[in-house]
Amino acid sequence: MTAEEAKAPRPRVQLVIGIVRQGHEVLLVRESLGSGGEMRWSLPGGGVEDGELMHEALRRELREETGLLVGDPVRTAFLMHIDSEEHPSAVAAAFEIDEWSGDIAPQDDDIEHAAFFPLPDALKLLGELDSPTQREPILGYLTGAVASGATWLYRNRGTQERLVARW
């Protein structure tokens, strides 16, 4: 890396995550999320693009990953702020979505499959995610162990991921 590259500002990463329910089931997508590229089940979502607001990105990402047309979020499930070497200030926001329509038909090549799972099965599958930042806020929220709107702060250095604070 040149001195110029080292001084260049790194782009901020903003992510949105959608929680879509059908009765007592939760929508999950299967994608390459394992530390070695293994396929894992997770909540649908992705990056906010330049010029997008979070709710716009959420609708776009869920359409791409699941094929569903979703309405605006009804509440913030949780927020994460992650400081890592690669992404010094990543922010992820997860939202509950009550209104949706359409059939499950992923259009994103990174998504192998999308399906609704009964909550106990979804919790088991989400518990298999490698990273605490991928796993802990989702499980905390979906089990009710952590209140809606909780904020999680993580610092990731090397292979160590550390929860710094939560409120």
pLDDT, tens only, 14-38 = 999 999 999 999 999 999 876 778 8
Per-residue confidence at 61, pLDDT binned at 50, 70, 90?
very high
- Pairwise CA distance, residues 11 & 17, whole Å: 19
Q: What is the mean pLDDT of residues 113-127?
A: 98
Residues making up the chain, counted from first to last: 167
> Burial, 18: exposed, middle or buried (Cβ in 10 Å; 0-12, 13-18, 19+)?
buried
Residues of the chain with pLDDT > 90, as a percent, come to 80
Mean pLDDT (the chain, rounded): 92
Q: What is the pLDDT of residue 2?
A: 62
Q: What is the mean pLDDT of residues 151-159?
A: 91
Q: What is the mean pLDDT of residues 69-74?
A: 96
- Pairwise CA distance, residues 87 & 48, whole Å: 14
Q: Indicate whether 1 pLDDT > 70.
A: no
Task: DSSP letter for 88, please.
Answer: T
Query: What's at 4, amino acid-wise?
Result: E
Using alpha carbons only, give the angle 25, 29, 33 rounded to the nearest 5 degrees. 130
Q: What is the pLDDT of residue 5?
A: 55
